[in-house]
């Protein structure tokens, strides 16, 4: 191998352009991974907050004062929520007393547009059952 003359030391323009293109591709891929990671982290955070709010709203249905057929809505910490109370399709109005079954459905919408829902069946009056005869 012959040594290069003194005027030809260094990289050629083509080598520099190829290296720059490779660097650009690597940086672009890293930024895309970071962006997706940040989006996933934000969705996970909103989902966690939404699940906590769902549990809170379903647990507090007695305090909300919902009767079958009623819906209550609100907003908390940037999350929109609603809780709906339902009744069994086979029951008539006289069946619902202080201790009747109530179907509850709660939904929370996060700022990213994600919808989180949960449902449960509760006894109306179960939290204050000692006052019901």
Domain edges within the chain: 12-131
Quick one: average pLDDT of 113-122?
A: 86
Q: Tell me what pLDDT residue 6 has.
A: 66
133 pLDDT tier (thresholds 50, 70, 90):
very low
pTM of the model: 0.61
Single out the residue of 128, 127, 105 nearest to residue 118, CA to CA. Answer: 105
Q: Does position 132 have pLDDT exceeding 60, yes or no?
A: no
Q: Which residues pair with 109 in a beta bridge?
A: 80, 115
Taking a C-beta distance cutoff of 8 angstroms, is the pair 43, 114 a contact? yes
Single out the residue of 83, 126, 132 nearest to residue 101, CA to CA. Answer: 126
CATH classification number, 12-131, choose in 2.40.160.60, 3.30.420.10, 3.40.50.261, 2.20.130.10: 2.20.130.10
Which tens digits make up the pLDDT trace of 47-91? 899 889 888 888 887 777 777 788 889 998 889 999 988 876 655
91: tokens are 């029951």
9 pLDDT tier (thresholds 50, 70, 90):
confident
């Amino acid at each position: 191998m012959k040594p290069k003359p003194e005027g030809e030391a260094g990289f050629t323009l083509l080598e520099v352009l190829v290296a720059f293109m490779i660097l650009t591709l690597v940086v672009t891929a890293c930024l895309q991974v970071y962006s997706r990671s940040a989006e996933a982290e934000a969705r996970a955070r909103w989902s966690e907050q939404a699940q906590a709010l769902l549990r809170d709203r379903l647990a507090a249905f007695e305090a909300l004062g919902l009767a079958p057929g009623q819906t209550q809505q609100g907003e908390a910490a940037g999350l929109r929520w609603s809780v709906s109370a339902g009744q069994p399709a086979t029951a008539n109005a006289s069946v619902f007393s202080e201790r009747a079954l109530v179907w509850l459905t709660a939904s929370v919408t996060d700022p990213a547009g994600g919808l989180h829902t949960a449902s449960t069946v509760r006894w109306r009056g179960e939290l204050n059952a000692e006052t019901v005869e």
